[in-house]
Amino acid sequence: MTQFRSRLLALALCGLWPLAADAAPAETPSLEAQYTHCSFRPQDAECAEVHQAALKDQSTAATSVRDAFTYYARYLAMPPASLTDADRRFLKDNGIALPMDLDAANLSGLHHVIQDPALSGEALRAAVTNYLSRAVQAELYCAFNACTLPGREAMS
């Protein structure tokens, strides 16, 4: 075999080897890892299935996923909205600080919490505080775990 053919064969083999490695199936994260992710990012597409599993599981991790859907993700799933003057007045009147770096989706969800007709009084104040805590936790989780958010590059 000529030296040219040997080099060509070596380059071809080197070029194909990574392709074969990429074709291997990706390892599925453990249920605990999925529970952790979906406790912070319940709005991610893969979390709908994880939430269904959590509904049948009585572990603490499953409870965290259920709570994330109940007190956070359901408000994010509502139609996009902006904070109104009345929403901002509610926050001010109740001494609730608005984190400066919430994205549009989280602000929309916050509007829906404040306007939830099922909530009033102290229950509303607690729901807003809970929602804001979860929104900030989601942002921090993604900052440390490189979540890819809709409309944004992966956070690093």
* Domain spans in the chain, listed from the N-terminal domain onward: 27-145
User: In Å, how far are 28, 74, 88, 130 from 70, measured between CA atoms?
Assistant: 26, 6, 23, 11
Per-residue confidence band for 148, with pLDDT thresholds at 50, 70 and 90: low
Residue 147: per-residue pLDDT:
76
Please tell me the distance from the alpha carbon of residue 122 to that of residue 119, in angstroms, as a whole number: 9
Residue 87 has pLDDT above 80, yes or no: yes
Tell me how far apart the alpha carbons of residues 1 and 109 are, in angstroms, rounded to a whole number: 67
Q: Label residue 72 exposed, middle or buried (CB < 10 Å: 0-12, 13-18, 19+).
A: buried
Q: What is the pLDDT of residue 124?
A: 98
Question: What whole-number percentage of the chain has pLDDT above 70?
Answer: 78
The mean pLDDT value for 42-47 works out to 89
Q: Which DSSP category does 73 fall into?
A: I
- Which pLDDT tens digit goes with each residue over 64-86? 999 999 999 999 999 999 999 99
Predicted confidence band of residue 8 (pLDDT cuts 50, 70, 90): very low
**For the chain, percent of residues with pLDDT exceeding 90:** 62
Residue 48 CA, chain-centre distance (Å), reads 11
